[in-house]
A and B are shown apart, each in its own frame.
Chain A
Amino acid sequence: MIVAEQKSLEEIKGLIASANKVLVVGCGTCVTVCFAGGEKEAQILSSSLRMATKLDGNAKQVTDVTVQRQCEWEYIDPLKNSIEDVDIVLSLGCGVGVQTLAERFPKSIVMPGLNTKFLGLPVEQGIWAERCAACGDCILGLTGGVCPIARCSKSLLNGPCGGSSKGKCEVNDQIDCAWQLIYDRLAAQGRLDLLMEIRPPKNWQTSRDGGPRKIVREDLKLG
């Protein structure tokens, strides 16, 4: 899932400073699961902004609505009237959701209320960690199901580097060394032979380095 975090109240107040009427738009999918921008968060933020702006002597009218997914036209189209009624739309969707709203309602000012962080999972309650870099050419079959692009700080394909110590990355000891994880996983499965191959340089064209990506499925297009 996409994991995001809410921006600070200070930053958000700055983003909506010029508005009198604000609509906070929550999203019911990924950002609900990471407690950043779901219905509850949208309601709480909406209320906080009403209180905070009133205390600042600059009271704003802040309302909220939450849709199933902000990244699909059909779910955001019904928001048309509400959006046209306000000065600024504060999206609590991920970066995709923000842009979808902005594209569908180009005359409206859409501000991001979240910082979209990464593709990851809830490792345990309250902790989310990055897992996938969307490189477009998945090699998880070669690394025992641990991604070196996303989880190695240096995205090494022939790791570990000399900074791996006691299973932790040299960047900080909160980061597991991906190559230690790969080594342990493959060793337990008796497949260390996979680590004897020299992996060639990655073709980064399929990742964001090659330019913004698009998929066209002719078999699914209408008409």
Chain B
Amino acid sequence: MTELASNGLKVGSNLEKVLRAKTFAVTAELGPPKSADVNVIQKKAKFLKGNCDAVNITDNQTAVVRMSSIGAGFLALQEGLEPVIQMTCRDRNRLAMQADLLGAYALGLRNLLCLSGDHQSMGNHPTAKNVYDIDSMQLIQMVAGMRDKCTFQCGEVIKDAAPKFLVGAAENPFGDPFEFRPYRLGKKIKAGADFIQTQGIFNVPKFREFMQRCGDLGLLDKVYVLAGVIPVKGPAGAKYMRNSVPGMDVPNEIVERLEAAGKGIEDKKAKAEANKKVGIDITVEIIQQVREIPGVAGVHIMAVEWEEAVKTIVEKAGLLPRPVIKVEEAPVAQAA
């Protein structure tokens, strides 16, 4: 049973306030460095601060070792950002997950995205042992249980200061089997997901169809769906996603448009700039289109290693300034 504070909030994070206020939310992504360099976080944070409502901090994305999501998230928090910590099921068992979540909450982190995680064969440590003790559905349930029932996964009561995270889940509207995806989203909601961030959308009609089916199942008034967009710097990036990333649907028109962008431009720098401009334009157009789709509560901008583009995108999409939602502070709901 989800206890709400007197102000109607489960967790009280900025993201929760923005979503509940039904303003079109904007979340972005910050990729931690392949090092312990604090400066990278600070630099990226400057690009994102004020341009979004919350920032996802990825967790060994593509199975490549990077500064941990929680570590980088805490640093981002210190820079004045509202982090969304990501946790995959690939690298941690349920003990490590729960311990990390207790620590993350103690450090002030409040939003969590639960993911299966890219298989380690894709990354830089393919010889590592596969964990996958629990899957993303069970992780959602576990984190929601820590919050709402104040229990650990084993059933033991969390006596004090139970961690209360806003629970996010991912869904891929373009994965197979396509017919099953809305039902799987329904399961994630039943498991306790508060918000969803989707895989990057390039095929808007297919995403529209996915949202329609979710609506038919009555899911859209039960969860906040943030449409994922991935700004691409040029045709190579688009082609890579189309050809090599399983579950991504990148229509050829997008690739062709990006190829046309730099056509005839000899100077490398000028060509790159032309490509990037079109890449940003495409992203802005997709944002404007998905904004019209019923049930889309916001957009999730995954500007991978291109965090500096976020401000331009958000501005061009007419989403600046980001709102400051005032909600009366309420005592955090006590454990039963």
Interface residues of A (CB under 8 A from B): 153-172, 177, 180, 183-184, 195-196, 198-202, 204
Contacts and interface: CB of A to CB of B under 8 A. Distances in A.
Interface of B: 89-90, 94, 116-119, 121-122, 130, 132-138, 141-142, 153, 170-172, 175-177, 180, 183-184, 186-187, 190-191, 199, 246-247
A162 B187 contact: no
A158 B118 contact: no
Report, nearest first, the 6 A-B pairs whose CB atoms are least far apart: A162-B172, A158-B137, A170-B246, A161-B116, A165-B246, A156-B135
A162 B199 contact: yes
Contacts of B118: 163, 170
Contacts of B136: 156, 158, 161
B224 to A, nearest CB: 19
B246 A159 contact: no
B153 A201 contact: yes
Given A201-B134, A204-B133, A165 B187 contact: no
Contacts of B142: 201
Nearest to B141: A198
Q: Which of A153, A166, A170 has the most CB of B within 10 A?
A: A170
Given A163-B118, A165-B246, A198-B191, A154 B90 contact: yes
Contacts of A199: 137-138
A165 B141 contact: no
8 contacts: A158-B187, A161-B135, A162-B247, A170-B119, A171-B121, A180-B176, A195-B183, A196-B187
Contacts of B133: 201-202, 204
A154 B116 contact: yes
Contacts of A160: 175-177, 180, 184
A154 B176 contact: no
Contacts of B186: 196
Given A161-B116, A163-B246, A198 B171 contact: no
User: Among A154, A157, A183, which residue has the most Cβ atoms of chain B within 10 A?
Assistant: A154
Contact of A162 (B94, B130, B171): B171
A196 B130 CA distance: 26
A157 B133 CA distance: 10
